[in-house]
Amino acid sequence: MSVRRLAANQPDSFAFSAESLEQVKWWIAKFPQGRQQSAVIPLLWLVQKQQGWVSEPAIRVVAETLGMPVIRVYEVATFYTM
């Protein structure tokens, strides 16, 4: 079993681009009220597509966007190997 960790060198911040933000809204709207957290994997995928990798500031932005604890998004980001 391998351990996945975030890179030691992290950017100062992350923000979705205008194009990615439209896709974020589209993904969140796909889920019923109260189930928007189900969009965590698609949003992390958008982060990876935009940035090339998933940084700690991006994890925080995804968590804030979905109203989730940061640790839950971190768990998903470090569990799957996309």
**CATH code of the domain containing 64:** 1.10.10.1590
Residue type, 38: S
Q: Which residues of 51-70 are buried (b: 16+ CB within 10 A; e: fewer)?
A: beebbebbbebbbebbebee
Domain membership flag for residue 30: yes
Do the domain assignments include residue 6?
no
Tell me, yes or no, whether 59 lies in a domain.
Answer: yes
Q: Residues 20-40: pLDDT tens digits?
A: 999 999 999 999 999 999 999
Cα separation, 18 vs 70, in Å, equals 23
Q: Does the pTM exceed 0.95?
A: no
In a domain, 25, yes or no: yes
Does the residue 13 lie in any domain?
no
pLDDT in tens, 44-68: 999 999 999 999 999 999 999 999 9
For residue 44 the two structure tokens come to 């992390």
Domain that holds residue 29: 18-79
In a domain, 57, yes or no: yes
Q: How many domains does the chain have?
A: 1
